[in-house]
Structure 1
Amino acid sequence: MNPSITICCDFNQFSIFLLVIFLFVWRKGRVSRRGICLVGLCESGKTLIFSQLIYKKAVESFTSMKENIGVLDIANKGTLKLVDIPGHERVRQRFFDSYKNTARGIVFVLDSFSVNKDIRDVAEYLYTILSDPVVSSNKPQVLILCNKQDHPLAKGPQVIQSVLEKEMNVLRNTQTNQLEAVAEGGNRKSFYLGQEGKNFEFADIRSLRVEFAASSAQTEDFENLKKWLQSVA
Structure 2
Amino acid sequence: SLENIVYVEMTENPFEPYIESLRQQLEDQDPVFLIGVVVALAVVVITLFLKYFLTSKTVRSAVLLVGLCDSGKTLLFSRLLSGKYKRTQTSITDSSAPYKAKNDRGSTWTLIDLPGHDSPQTSVPGEVKSAARAIVFVVDSAIFQKEVRDVAEFLYVLVTDTVISRNVPDLLVACNKQDITMAKSAKLIQQQLEKELNTLRVTRSAALSSQDGSVGDFEFSQLPMKVEFLECSARGSKGEDGDADIESLEKSLAKL
TM-score normalized with structure 1 length: 0.81
**Out of 63, 75, 86, which is 1:36 matched to?**
63
2:52 corresponds to 1:26: yes
Q: What is the Cα deviation at residue 19 of structure 1?
A: 8.0
- 8 Å CA contact retained: 2:120, 2:157: no
**Which consecutive residues of structure 1, in runs of 5 or more, have no partner in the other structure?**
8-13, 178-190
2:217 corresponds to 1:199: yes
Report the counterpart of residue 184 of structure 1 in structure 2.
none
Report the counterpart of residue 197 of structure 2 in structure 1.
168
- 8 Å CA contact retained: 1:111, 1:147: yes
Q: Distance in 2 between matches of 1:94 and 1:118?
A: 17
Q: Distance in 2 between matches of 1:176 and 1:46?
A: 32
**Out of 88, 99, 122, which is 2:117 matched to?**
88
Secondary structure of 2:254's counterpart equals helix
Q: Which amino acid aligns with 1:192?
A: L
Name which one, 1 or 2, has greater alpha-carbon Rg: 2
Deviations 1:130-165 (A, max 9, x none): 000000001111111111111111111111110110
**Which consecutive residues of structure 2, in runs of 5 or more, have no partner in the other structure?**
1-19, 27-39, 237-243
Q: Distance in 1 between matches of 2:112 and 2:121?
A: 12
**Out of 210, 215, 230, which is 2:254 matched to?**
230
- 8 Å CA contact retained: 2:95, 2:112: yes
Q: Distance in 1 between matches of 2:209 and 2:113?
A: 25
Q: Given the superposition, is the C-alpha separation of residues 222 and 94 from structure 1 closer, same or farther in structure 2, using an over 3 Å criterion?
A: closer
| Backbone CA RMSD of aligned residues | 2.8
TM-score normalized with structure 2 length: 0.74
Q: What is the Cα deviation at residue 174 of structure 1?
A: 1.2
Q: What is the Cα deviation at residue 73 of structure 1?
A: 1.3
Q: Which amino acid aligns with 2:125?
A: F
Q: Given the superposition, is the C-alpha separation of residues 211 and 23 from structure 1 closer, same or farther in structure 2, using an over 3 Å criterion?
A: farther
Deviations 1:193-222 (A, max 9, x none): 4354101100011x2111111100111011
Percent identity for Structure 1 against Structure 2: 36
Corresponding pairs, count: 214
Report the counterpart of residue 33 of structure 2 in structure 1.
none
